[in-house]
Amino acid sequence: MKAENLRELTAEELTQKGRELKRKLFNLRFQKVSGELDNTAELAKTRKDIARVMTVAREKMREARG
């Protein structure tokens, strides 16, 4: 997921995307604990995607303020 693509989304869409990614991370953690997760790099990738979404959302909030 690229920040360029995220910047095209609205604030509401960013919020929704953040929720989806957090739910995905939650499920990945359960898979890791139960031994079902094959690709552990997916955890780090999802955390970074969450950070990107939060960063872009914060940028949009600052732009809206002034």
Condensed to tens digits (0 to 9), the pLDDT of residues 9-51 reads 999 999 999 999 999 999 999 999 999 999 999 999 999 999 9
Closest CA to 21 of 6, 38, 34: 6
Q: Domain-by-domain residue ranges, the chain?
A: 3-65
Half-sphere exposure of 10 (CA within 13 A, CB side): 2
pLDDT for res 48: 97
Instruction: Provide the residue type at 7 as one letter.
Output: R
Pick the CATH number of 3-65 from 1.10.150.120, 1.10.760.10, 1.10.287.310, 3.90.550.40: 1.10.287.310
Q: CA 28 to CA 64: how far, in whole Å?
A: 34
**Who wins on pLDDT, 1 or 24?**
24
End-to-end CA distance of the chain: 27
Q: CA 26 to CA 3: how far, in whole Å?
A: 22
Predicted TM-score (pTM) of this structure: 0.91
Q: pLDDT band at 66, cuts 50/70/90?
A: confident
